Homo-oligomer: A and B are copies of this chain.
C-alpha cells in the first residue's frame, strides 16, 4: 500500500538520445516477470557512479567500480533482479565478470566497458546460465522508449515502478533527464540501498558530472531511510550521452550547470521519496525536518535517531500521538550536550513539546488529527545554531514483518 504513489503514466518517461533499453524474463526473480535489463549507451556517453559503503559489498559493485576505474568508455549496464550476487566470494566475482563478458560479446565491446548490477537475495549463487540466456532477448529488444519496461524489470519487493523525467533548456537546447529507481527494504543512506539510473542527453564534462552526482546523492538518496539497513548492492548512476547538442558544460559556476544540477537533484529527490512511499509495509510518509543544530551532521543524527526508532515507527503506524517516543529518540541521538529544555517539537503546525515537556497549548486531539494523516512533517528545533537537515522515512507496520519474514518463501 504505497503512500500517495502511482507508477509513471504512459509516455511520462521521456527517451534519452543515445540510451537504449531492453528487458527479458529469466525466471531468476519469479515466473512470468521480467527481471533482466540491459542499458546500451552511445559511444561517447559519460558515466558517474556512487556505491554502497557496506563493507560486505556485492560482487557487481566491486566489478562496476573496477571497470569504471579503468577509464574506458562505458557502453552498457546490465541489471538483474532476484539475486544480489552478494556474499558470494570469488565465485560471485567470476559470475559478475562473466555477465559483463556475455553482454560485451553481444554488443561488440570489451567486458570492462560493461557495468553489472544485481538486487535480490544475498548469499546465494547467481544463476549465471539463466541470466546469460536472457541477454539476447534484451539486446534484440533495445529501444530508446524502453524506460517504462526497464523500471518494472529492476523491482524486487517494490509494489510500484519508479521513474520520472524532467526537461530544462540549456544554451537554447532542450535537455532531457530521465531516471528510474528501485528499492523498498534495506533502505538507509550511504548509499541509500537502492539502484537508481538517471540519464541525460546533456553534454557535460566528466568532473562536473561526478560533482553533480555527489551533490544530488547527498540531497536525495542519502536523505531517506526505511529500516536503517544499508544494502550490499546500492548503486546510483548518472549517464550523460551529450547528444542534446548543447555546448559542453564545463564551468561549475555557470547557469547551465546549475540548471542541469537542479533538474537532476529534483528528479533524484522524487525517486528517493518514491522509494520511501513504497517502503516495505509503509502506510505513512514522514518528513523529518531538524533545524537549529550546531551543524548539519548533528541534525542528521537526530533525524535518523527518530527515523530508526521502532517505537516511533510503530506509533506512526498506529496513528497514536504517543509523542514522548519522539523525545526519547531525540535524547538517544548521541548529542552529549543536548539541552532538552531548549528543544521544540512540532507535528505539522502543532506545537507538541517545549521547555522539556508537553507544550501548554497542546491538545491530544490535535496530535491525533495529525497522526491520522498519510503524510506528516515532524519538525524539531534544537535551539543550538543555524544548521538544518531533512530526512524522509515511513512507518513500521505489520506488513513490514510479513514481507521480511516471508521474503524467500
Contact = CB atoms under 8 A, between A and B. Distances in A.
A335 B329 CA distance: 24
Contacts of A208: none
Interface stretch (A136-144, A194-202, A310-318, A386-394): A310-318
A357 B87 contact: yes
A231 interface: yes
B335 A404 contact: no
Contact of A323 (B123, B228, B328, B396): B123
Interface string A209-249: 00000000000000000011111100000000000000000
A324 B84 contact: yes
Contacts of A408: 320, 322
Contact of A54 (B57, B331, B406): B331
Contacts of A322: 121-123, 407-408
Interface string A351-382: 00101111000000000000000000000000
Interface in A81-123: 84, 86-92, 121-123
A332 B230 contact: yes
Contacts of A231: 328
Interface residues of A, number: 68
A123 B358 contact: yes
A72 interface: no
A405 B324 contact: no
Interface in A40-94: 54-57, 84, 86-92
A300 B404 CA distance: 25
A91 B357 contact: yes
A130 interface: no
A84 B336 CA distance: 22
Given A185-B311, A331-B56, A405-B320, A87 B358 contact: yes
A330 B56 contact: yes
A287 interface: no
A293 to B, nearest CB: 14
Given A315-B405, A404-B311, A327 B397 contact: no
A401 B122 contact: no
Interface of A: 54-57, 84, 86-92, 121-125, 185-186, 188, 227-232, 308-311, 314-315, 317-318, 320, 322-325, 327-333, 335-336, 338, 340-341, 353, 355-358, 396-398, 400-402, 404-409
